[in-house]
Structure 1
């Protein structure tokens, strides 16, 4: 190539023009959607004033920034910070973040956000992954900055240590009061109310307790009694509308109803996340006779105890065998029956048992069913919690989408909009000096509480449904928490508490249907026949 050709090529390149396409909307022109989260640790009047003050403070702060726009103020009052699941507005905040409605969250301090270091970092990382930063004012930390998460780890660990110290002091206090006979319970059993630390008989529920004892002595089964109490529309102690076999069993064996108290049946673990566990000898227990007024006389209570023990041995096999009437043939739908052959127990389809040509289902050894349940149990104890939590989350999302355009939700949205309009008008009047400061504070606090109540009502409706799968799943999770982490041998009572039914899809595959309707499949390890 000649010098002239090289020169012409260079000139041609120099003469090329680049056309710059302007951004339709520059990032700096976009306003940050900012939310605030407030929490106070008690329901006292002073704390509630602090709660209202936080609402007013964040409203003013966010509205004062030109490049900020207020998304919402989220607040939980009088709820512990050690568990995020017990804070409804915190969960509402996370839901709005996942829906893309929030860019930044303002919080006074890390201890207001979470006292559990693991949960705190997990939440912050999840928010950061979807582009939401958390700003902790007291510590001067913004998690959207590079060093924010490192600092958060340090401060959240300090907050967790503080929470563990407080919890440890409370446990020591409970232990000391148990030993001295001054502690009764933190939560009254069904039939009682707790007043000034003492149990008092609550007659409307006490009548139900007496009826349960009388019906059992009259020969009714626990399942029959549970079904009868459910039809009366009487909720359990925990507010559940369905009574179960285990609910009746707990009442019939509870020494509280004769006026005695066995303390520390359950205990709380020492480290976060705190979990309630049944006390199988890991902690001391304390028995206090005649600690409170009885509902049942001791003679009746002892008679029921004797009958409970007697029925466990003399009742028909279909009532006392945990596998009886639980196993169904997956081919013909017929219940299985128990049979003993060569001193070994089997379960077999009734049609197959009468004539092998009626159903091709093979018999299954009882020990193989026990082993399959043990594997299911250990899987649930190890991995069940996240699966069940995800199941609840998915069900709630489905219901929310289905109910979003219901008339109740539309009316609540109108009410929320109206309260926001009143709040803005009140703020404008206050700026112009048209309203007395005391009246402004009082009215502002009232509107804040109305707004929070409307939003919580909206969440309640979105979460409500006639389907009881969610409450049954929560109940299943609570049951799992009380059971031992390792089960060395088959336990019929535990199977009854967890499993509604078993379907034998074949001689090698069993399908366990849990109390919440979830089905888990387990392969049977066939032994030599």
Structure 2
């Protein structure tokens, strides 16, 4: 019988290359025992928990179904998949097309491992797949834990991938400044922060559009672009911090795979943001390139530019902040008109955006004078700054509301953790029943999916609770930041328009204006904004 050897490596390390060569030698040596003639070899570079997106697996299945060989032989089932559901799905798919599967380590042969009625007996291979999955998860968790511990100590996890202008020190396992590239990083921060360069202007400057016509070498020798520059400006490594586990690898099935040239078996794999409670931060792990003060100013400028939507093009101070209390739409700023003599015909106003778009059928205009609204907001901030007793009372009330919620969430967290533990016990018992033959593979799959769905719901809620409890610990820091920012109101009359808008964005969550022109200001006192009327 013509056969194809399948061998897999999960990394590009030399040891993995030796492993894959060893797999092929073993399969060639054992093939005569199964009366096989090796006609092809497939080497897979994907990880064991990946899906059918792996090109090598797609090619393996396509060639087998096309009749190029009638058997697939591999050293062990862990080489094929380390996921029970996916592994079984693939084995059954191949079996339906008459493709024989042989695994040497488990002595599994789909030609002989059949039930009395001739169906594929998956009990043994299910057990081995489960062991492979458990071992893979344990290894992954062990590696992840080691990486988290390294990050917590301020060590760098990826020696081959360090930020531009930094280098990896194998002795300390930390990163340190690398010159002259690090001077370029400092220059980028100074030009953006001190000299007011935009990302586009910075790109041109680094590419040679500067007084010295000097071209600065980019990361890995590549040309500069705005994405790379912004990545540098937002990278905490330059203030001496190691921040790890921001994102995790996730997968999900395509809802409409045909739109992306995919099939029902294909799975999207990408990285998504983790809950803040899962992120590891080690402050002052290595020498900083820029000060925290400068890094903070740059972050504020980036946030301001993302929110302001063209402040220089006649956009009001409260654009994106002022909201219509009736329909929830934003209040758009409209510049007034003057006659030929310079006399004001109509003044600057904020209008409900839905009214501007759709007219009275959507909402009323309830326009409000821009100068009056902006003046009222600034005066309220000035009063809040000078009235220390009022500000102290607000924060006292906020702090007093936290313990009750904290206790309730702590109890809920304990209940959820207990429920997760019970699901784990039930899942282990379910596996034992399946392996002993008390329940079929179909029953196992159905019940296991129910447990998994229940577990996902508990884990999601647990992460939400952890996130809140983590944010709660930062309340004192947030209060100090707000008090420091509101003190800047003292010099607001001497600020440029962009500086005023940035400060308002930092202090105010939103401003609601109803049809009677009543104004409610929601300040960013804490996690949930607080209202003043």
Task: Specify if TM > 0.5.
Answer: no
State TM-score, norm by structure 1. 0.45
